[in-house]
Amino acid sequence: MTEAPLPPHGVPWPGTTPEHAGFDAGRLAAAIAFAQQNESPWQRDLQAQLEAGNFEPPPDNEIIGPVAPRGGPNGLLLRHGKLVASWGDTRQVDMTFSVAKSYLSILAGIAVSDGLIPNLDAPIRDTVDDGGFDSEQNSPITWRQMLQLTSEWEGSLFGKSEQIDRNRSLSSEATGRPAGAKGAARPLQAPGSFWEYNDVRVNRLSLALLRRFGRALPQIFAERIMQPLGASSDWRWEGYRTSFVDVGGKQVQSVSGGGHWGGGAFIHAEDQARIGLMMLHGGLWGGQRILPAEWVADSVSPCPLNPRYGLFWWLNSDGTYQPAAPRNNFFAIGAGGNVTWIDPEHDLVAVLRWIDSSKLNAWIGQILGALQP
């Protein structure tokens, strides 16, 4: 069996010098300093940050899941599977917000591989019968539409109405000033005809996956992803105090696809880098196949309604998401400056925690500019 790209957690990672990795050492050092100097404007007290209405004003911003203070900026850079640079505390376990959406996509890939989702383009109600897809609006919704954020699912889940995230603007949200139209009513479109970033709908997809697996998603993620990757046991994935559902006679918590109202994936940069490296390698970890190659390719294929989005992964397919990056690059992105950047063209994986999101493209330009011709 081919040697795994990284040894198990607790064993020192194989490292290399910037020069051996093909970087100009001085330029790379400047790029790392740039990441450290451009910390996210978000407060370290994330409870206060969320309660301040970064996503929406009261009462819609009520926190119903766990929240923890964040650490300082940190991150690491891998090239050819070796550690080239790291900064800050890369074992600081922090909230990751919407990076968890990309982890839900990975779980969906496992469900497809296991035959639990026989057809991504089939209505979810064909295999999930819990009342969430019975209405005229919701009954045609497919798994792919949910994963591409084009479902237009209608309803409330765990005490949150999907209307809270209607008319959502990620660009204004990043500044801490949600768009004035956010949460306002608008006519719903036919499923598959309108793209909108909506956490309630993401959480509905998470619940549908729980129904198909019949077990808590963090258990599946640990067994099928994190343990084979040699990750630590430091991470956790939380839902809400309201998100316990009956599964086979037991109360199981359905986890959230972000930290919008608390909860989500709490994880450190080193574990995130393993996930990124597995995705870079098309679902392989050494000689072990973690995800089907076809699923990874599907995940990073652009949505017809938004070329910058795949199956819960951000894409640069039209060169506009992060203009400094090559077009085949893809990203797991979480609010507050949480980034996993995957660059197949240059065999790079980078994890950044708590960088000012408005500086990400400049940082990518500096990293690629540090590569020797």
Reduced to 3 states (helix: H, G, I; strand: E, B; else coil), residue 358 is helix
Mean pLDDT rounded to a whole number for the chain: 95
Inform me whether the pLDDT recorded for 174 exceeds 80. no
Domain ranges of the chain: 1-119+216-349+358-373
Average pLDDT over residues 137-160: 98
Please list the residues that pair with 78 across neighbouring strands: 83, 349
Return the pLDDT at 175. Answer: 60
pLDDT in tens, 358-369: 999 999 999 999
pLDDT in tens, 270-308: 999 999 999 999 999 998 999 999 999 999 999 999 999
Tell me, which fold does domain 1-119+216-349+358-373 have in CATH?
Beta-lactamase (3.40.710)
Q: What is the dihedral of CA 118, 308, 198, 292, to 10 degrees?
A: 30
Confidence of residue 3 (pLDDT cuts 50, 70, 90): low
Q: Which residues of 140-163 are buried (b: 16+ CB within 10 A; e: fewer)?
A: bbbbbbbbbbbbbbbbebbebebb
Return the pLDDT at 110. Answer: 98
Confidence of residue 172 (pLDDT cuts 50, 70, 90): low
**From CA 257, how far away is CA 199, in angstroms rounded?**
7
Strand order in the sheet with 94-95: 94-95, 264-267, 236-247, 250-255
Return the pLDDT at 52. Answer: 87
**From CA 69, how far away is CA 79, in angstroms rounded?**
31
Average pLDDT over residues 170-175: 67
**From CA 275, how far away is CA 231, in angstroms rounded?**
9
Average pLDDT over residues 84-112: 98
**From CA 118, how far away is CA 127, in angstroms rounded?**
9
Closest by CA to 164, choosing from 178, 145, 151, is 178
What's at 277, amino acid-wise? L
Return the pLDDT at 1. Answer: 39
Q: Hunting for tokens 């099928």 — which residue is that? A: 224
**Lowest-confidence pick of 70-74, 166-170, 323-327:** 166-170
Report DSSP state, residue 318: T
Confidence of residue 185 (pLDDT cuts 50, 70, 90): confident
pLDDT in tens, 222-263: 999 999 999 999 999 999 999 999 999 999 999 999 999 999
pLDDT in tens, 14-46: 999 999 999 999 999 999 999 999 999 999 999
Q: H helices of 161-260, where?
A: 170-174, 199-213, 217-221
**From CA 295, how far away is CA 291, in angstroms rounded?**
7
